[in-house]
Amino acid sequence: MTTNYLLGIDLGTQSLKVGIYNETGTLLLSESSAYRTNHTQAGLSEQNPNDWWQALKDVLAKAKEKIDLGLISGISLCATSSTVVLTDKSYQPVAPAQCWMDQRSVDEEEEINRNTNPVVEERLLFSGKKTSVEWMTTKSLWLKRHYDLSDKYILEQIDWMNYMLTGEVVASKCNATCKWNYVDHLGGFSEPFFQEIGLDGITNHWPSRVLKVGEKVGEITEHVAFELGITAGTPVFQGGIDAHIGMIGSGALENGHLSMITGTSFVHLMHHDHPIFNDSLWGPYDSPLIDGHWLLEGGQLSCGSIITWFLNEFYSGRSDFNEIFAELEKNMEDIEVGSEGLIVLDSWKGNRTPYKTPYASGAFIGLTLSHTKFHIYRAILESIAFGTKNVIETFKNSSIPVKKIIAGGGGTKNTGWMQMISNVTGLPIYIPKDEEAGTKGAAIIAAYGIGLFPSIKQASNQMVTMQKVFEPDLNKTAQYGDIFQIYLELNQLLFPIMRKIKEGKGESHEICT
């Protein structure tokens, strides 16, 4: 019997991860390597694309000491979106990559969103009636205004990495649909839309082919085979946005199942069998993952990043994170629901859902001299849980039933947090056996690509197993209900003040939607 090893690559905000799985979905090996994001006071968040490639070389060098990379039968990638690379004609970077959280194109975002031309309104109808500073469209408009694009190309992170592996330049339908204003049933891209917003001819600078998730990108080249230790000719299949591919990796493809990918930010995704329009959500996206499956998206920009802030401020210099989190968990358990009157607002880098405002920021309300760092920690976790509940309520307001949450990503390691989110939302949270939903989803795509399964959905059903379920304590759900209402009121009261503060300090470019 032939052994098929499947390589999933996940390019996250802070690191590159790989997972090698067999055809039953069993994880055989995982490795990761971090890279830098450079932030500046001008709202820039930049990465060096060559760092991504070096990270892949590093993790595969470690992997081949433990496993035979020659047994890899298929490869797929997922990546952040839109992390944008400006290249020359040879697809070599000519500037640092703009990370998805980069905020320099906020003026372009607002300009597009103010445009009332029917051509623009029709196209934005399928992205929640707005574009975002995070997206390829707004970043491309900024690049057009600041660079001569006549001899340059604009690629996403996944496009550039696929090129480095195979020599093929293609776009993912997942990314194009969710971040590039591509609408399948309207013919894909719209030149009249691009012309109206000042991006006429932009598709000449983007990849010319858009491939569905699971379609073959190309094969590992001889040069790359020597560099990485993977057999030349190994097929690479199209992936997509990390959180979206995480839906595949966590088995959250059915209607009523909310995929919650936990990490630096949270992404909440749900499939539906027909388009549902809600201005407070992103989408409906036309079949970005699977034909006939409309996708709706919510999200929180500041989640794991707030915890990172907390650790940097209160535990600077310590690297014994297991002991730190054990200490926090133990002390948090002794604090009542609501952190003894301390409430945190979680929109530290703007609010993605449901308010779609780049001007929101963080806040602590109710601090007293009796509060400790443990109250602050608990209040931060509760605030992110409230943000998730706010997203879920937005789905429910469109008569979209949310039956359960399927969670993936690094946040699932924090069991106390997962139980808290279950208590706040009143929903069960299912945790798959493999917490890295991105690498697992990419591996599942590779399994489909080499023909092991007739569909991506069937591959996901067969290769994903659940490990744990957090059931809500409904008494605590009721207790959290009143606090959640205060959280909502505070958002409405403070957002206008936050905008005045930002504009008064001349920091309108330091924000993100």
| CATH code for the domain of 156 | 3.30.420.40
The per-residue pLDDT for 508 is 45
Q: Where are the beta strands (DSSP E) in 59-137?
A: 72-79, 84-87, 97-98
**What is the bridge-based pairing of β-strands 404-409 and 257-262?**
parallel
Structure tokens that stand for 243 in this block: 């959180």
Sheet holding 15-22, edge to edge: 27-34, 15-22, 5-11, 72-79, 235-241, 216-219
Structure tokens that stand for 141 in this block: 């408009």
Contact partners, residue 57, CB within 8 Å, separation at least 6? 227, 228
Contact partners, residue 187, CB within 8 Å, separation at least 6? none
CA 506 vs CA 113, 398, 499: distances in Å: 21, 37, 11
- The range of the structural domain enclosing residue 27 comes to 1-513
Closest CA to 383 of 350, 423, 434, 343: 343
Per-10-residue mean pLDDT for the chain, 513 residues long? 87 95 96 93 89 98 96 98 97 97 92 97 95 95 97 98 98 98 97 98 97 98 97 98 95 94 91 91 95 94 93 93 94 94 94 88 96 98 98 91 92 93 98 93 98 97 96 98 97 93 63 34
The per-residue pLDDT for 507 is 53
Contact partners, residue 165, CB within 8 Å, separation at least 6? 75, 217, 218, 220, 221, 224, 236
Reduced to 3 states (helix: H, G, I; strand: E, B; else coil), residue 310 is helix
Q: How many Cα atoms within 13 Å fall on the side-chain side of residue 166?
A: 23
- Please check whether residue 262 is in contact with residue 408, taking contact to mean a CB–CB distance below 8 angstroms: yes
The per-residue pLDDT for 157 is 98
Beta bridge partners of 267: 261, 299
- Please check whether residue 434 is in contact with residue 466, taking contact to mean a CB–CB distance below 8 angstroms: no
- Please check whether residue 163 is in contact with residue 169, taking contact to mean a CB–CB distance below 8 angstroms: yes
Closest CA to 462 of 26, 101, 140, 126: 26
Give alpha helix (H) positions in 64-114: 106-114
Counting the structural domains of the chain, the total is 1
Please, what's the b/e burial string for 73-98 (b: 16 or more CB within 10 A of its CB; e: otherwise)?
bbbbbbbbbbbbbbbeeebeeeebbb
> Residue 166 burial (CB < 10 Å; 0-12/13-18/19+)?
buried
The per-residue pLDDT for 510 is 38
